[in-house]
Structure 1
Amino acid sequence: MKRPLTVVVSGLGVAQIISWGSLYYPIAVLGERMQQDLQISSSMLFAAFTLSLSISGLAAPAVARLMEAHGARAVLCSGSVLSMLALCLLAAASGPLSLFGAAILAGFAMSACLYDAGFMALNQIAGDAYRRSVTGLTLFGGFASTLSWPVSQFLMAMAGWRQALLFYALLQILVCLPLHACLLPANGRKHGSLPDRPAIENQAPDIAWLALAFAAGSFVLSVLSVHLIGMFRTAGLSDAQAVMIAALVGPTQVLGRLLELGMGRNTRAVHVGTMTFAAMILGMTALFLLDGSTQLAYLVAALYGISNGLMTIVRGIVPAELYGRHDYTTLLGRLARPAFVARALAPFGFTLALATLGQTSTMLLLLAMSMMASMAYWVAVRHARRRSIKQHGD
């Protein structure tokens, strides 16, 4: 029986909250206790987390092919099962070997059940409502950290980090798996023959520019997600000020997505993308000039939250407007790979640059990367427009 799209998006949104809240966010709360029990360093723990994110990006094109061949239900249900297995393996970890084994499995699970897999599923079922569906899905996902961090803290205090992970594993099987199984169609949308596939192949250089824009933007935003509080402290803010101002990132992220939902009918997706990259550049500029100013720190938090909240949506809707939605699942898989790898490498890359180049040069490098991301985006949009004008002219 076909479900109303609002029901599907809401159900997938709940699954996104649980999946992000069990695979991505808990390490911020459980990490220190995990290090102590497993007798490993912080760098080793986060190396395993980086491995998970890298594998997620590398596996994205394969996940796209599986979704085209077997449909959204099979892929996202598999993602829920893999998530359950990964969390159980992580809960049973006794040292580096089992930790990295769980991290590898978690990487494949992420690629099959987080945002990009959700976008691919919506592409198959949402029709003309795809853009609003993507925005709605990300609105749900925006609450993942808000719920995951206090729940993880409560579970760890009551029963320990291993039991917390087992609780999340149960949620994957008892909540996410049934939602994916009941709400998604059994088969993928059937396209006609593949006359439009060469169109994507012929636009590979243009798509490469867009992939560069998303990868560079993801790198910058990922650095801020991990190091923003430390940057505030280095710039002269007190610990209390740094934490209080950084806490505004979550609400402004949701605010950005609500604004996109309201603008959706009257604003082209590419213009939302332009605003996203502009907000990122302005935020990085304010961060570079911070020098202890609480007013600029509030501006940084707001601009970062808005750009980070919108970037997730932009990655889902702009390619559809530029290249169409035939073979869109494949295209999303290609674009996800460099973005996820960049996101995975960003925290370590920033730390390395900080140690070798110093604070000022590293901040300038981040500002330059945000500008490069914006320029690559502009080139991709311009090339797509030229191609569209040429095709219509022909």
Structure 2
Amino acid sequence: MTAVPDAGDTRWFISALGAAQICSWGTLFYGFPLIAEAMRTDLGWSKTELYGAATCGMLLAGLAAYPVGAAIDRGHGRYLMAAASVVAGLLLAAWSQVTSIVAFYAVLAVLGCMQAATLYEPAFAVIARRVGPLGARKGITALTLWGGFASTVFIPLIQFLIDTQGWRGALLGMAAVNAVVCGGLYFLAIDPRKDAPIRTHHPDEAAPLAGRAAVRAAMRRPAYWGLMIAWISYAAAFSSLTYHFYPLLLERGLDPSGVVMVLAVIGPAQVAGRIMIRAFASEAPVRKLGSAIVIVFPIAVIGFAYAPPQVAVIASIAAFYGAANGMVTIVRGIAVPEMVTREAYGAVNGSLVAPMNIMQALAPLAAAVIWQASGGYDAVLAVIFIGSLTLCAGFWIAAIRSRGI
């Protein structure tokens, strides 16, 4: 049994994870729309065909969330995240060679599983294992600050590679980043020998729960189901909004350059929101913090629905929406140990993330169906508004029922 790592070692650990997260998010998440658009132009495939593959990947990512979390609880985070990055690199290289839609779908399906093992949730679980669930707040907050720069760094970089090397060359560059940079950083940063000591128990006490037993125990707590409702609603409402933001704002009367200006506000606002939490609410109970943040979402939806089509006005609303989005990422990371249970973080959080990811994959398609059936985005915004209210209700129920945890 080893001692908890010192402050300098923890800073290196978080910084290395953060740099790897920038690369993982930048290549495995933010790069897809750019590559897909270039493929559409080159190969003549439809957007439906291209984005259908991404949906398959996200569905499998949802199914993989629990086993990934449980594996990290057992101390396999180093090999899991490093190997997943290497495999992701090989898959991106394979993607660069596809000529058939069947091969494209096969690559994107497996790549979704690698996302489940490399993005925020497994990194959160690794942090919780290193410093303990209750000590993970600062590390998770810092990690999300790093991750917030992924789009800023990689969207222009990938576009440059597409312009100079073509989409196939860009994918080869992204493959090298995953296999070498991400794989190397995860392997070097995650060392199970430096994890916080496992809580010991006396012979007359029950052993700490793990895996499915921990999830079953968590399911007996009302706060677990409140969070489940909240996160599924969040995924349904705001993945729809994210994927349809561009055409929605065009329909609202903005020109394309105005829409781009509005969208450019969201990323920096997410980082600003996380900085605000770190500066002013680093010790605030997560149930109080989250209860205040979720109110922003229905207000923002009302703003997007009824605000005049002026860039400054809608960009201001988008800034509040982006800041709340950034803050919710932190709340999601620390909600389980502070509101549900302090045992088996990876498994319990993975069980909550799995249906959230599945809903995130299906909701944009459902929004498109609603748009087509109704002839406009008014009905879509109405459904998103209902989802935002359900998010509030679910989190508030979890907050009320989690007192004493």
Shift of 1:200: 4.8
**SS across alignment from 1:213:** helix
Please list, as runs of the form range in 1=range in 2, the aligned pairs for 1:311-390 lying within 5 A after superposition. Answer: 311-357=328-374, 358-385=376-403, 388=404
Shift of 1:356: 1.4
Shift of 1:291: 4.0
Report which stretch shifted further, 78-87 or 115-124: 78-87
Residue equivalent to 1:161: 167
Shift of 1:81: 1.7
Residue equivalent to 2:203: none
Give the direction of change, closer, same or farther, for the CA distance of 1:369–1:269 in structure 2 (3 Å limit). same
Contact preservation (8 Å) 1:283, 1:299: no
Shift of 1:338: 1.4
Structure 2: how far apart are the matches of 1:203 and 1:325?
Answer: 10
Residue equivalent to 2:88: 83
Q: Is 1:289–2:270 an aligned residue pair?
A: no
Counterpart AA for 1:125: R
Q: Is 1:178–2:184 an aligned residue pair?
A: yes
Structure 1: how far apart are the matches of 2:191 and 2:159?
Answer: 36
Report which stretch shifted further, 47-56 or 232-241: 232-241
Please list, as runs of the form range in 1=range in 2, the aligned pairs for 1:9-158 lying within 5 A after superposition. Answer: 9-127=14-132, 128-158=134-164
Report which stretch shifted further, 334-343 or 196-205: 196-205
Residue equivalent to 1:273: 290
Structure 2: how far apart are the matches of 1:126 and 1:226?
Answer: 36
Instruction: Report the TM-score when normalising by structure 1.
Output: 0.92
Shift of 1:224: 2.4
Give the direction of change, closer, same or farther, for the CA distance of 1:40–1:4 in structure 2 (3 Å limit). same
Identity over aligned pairs, percent: 28
Residue equivalent to 1:392: none
Pick aligned residue for 1:204 from 207, 216, 219: 219
Structure 2: how far apart are the matches of 1:296 and 1:368?
Answer: 23
**Alignment root-mean-square deviation, CA:** 2.0
Contact preservation (8 Å) 2:215, 2:351: no
Structure 1: how far apart are the matches of 2:172 and 2:241?
Answer: 30
Shift of 1:35: 2.1
Contact preservation (8 Å) 2:64, 2:113: yes
Q: Is 1:298–2:304 an aligned residue pair?
A: no
Question: Matched residue pairs, number?
Answer: 387
Give the direction of change, closer, same or farther, for the CA distance of 1:108–1:199 in structure 2 (3 Å limit). closer
Counterpart AA for 1:244: M
Give the direction of change, closer, same or farther, for the CA distance of 1:110–1:191 in structure 2 (3 Å limit). farther
Instruction: Report the TM-score when normalising by structure 2.
Output: 0.90
Contact preservation (8 Å) 2:274, 2:326: yes
Structure 1: how far apart are the matches of 2:79 and 2:199?
Answer: 18
Structure 1: how far apart are the matches of 2:11 and 2:98?
Answer: 39
Structure 2: how far apart are the matches of 1:295 and 1:149?
Answer: 24
Give the direction of change, closer, same or farther, for the CA distance of 1:79–1:131 in structure 2 (3 Å limit). same
Structure 2: how far apart are the matches of 1:67 and 1:16?
Answer: 17
Structure 1: how far apart are the matches of 2:362 and 2:324?
Answer: 20
Counterpart AA for 1:166: L
Counterpart AA for 2:63: L
Contact preservation (8 Å) 2:261, 2:315: no
Structure 2: how far apart are the matches of 1:232 and 1:74?
Answer: 43
> What are the ranges of 5 or more consecutive residues in structure 1 without an aligned counterpart?
390-394
Structure 2: how far apart are the matches of 1:104 and 1:80?
Answer: 15
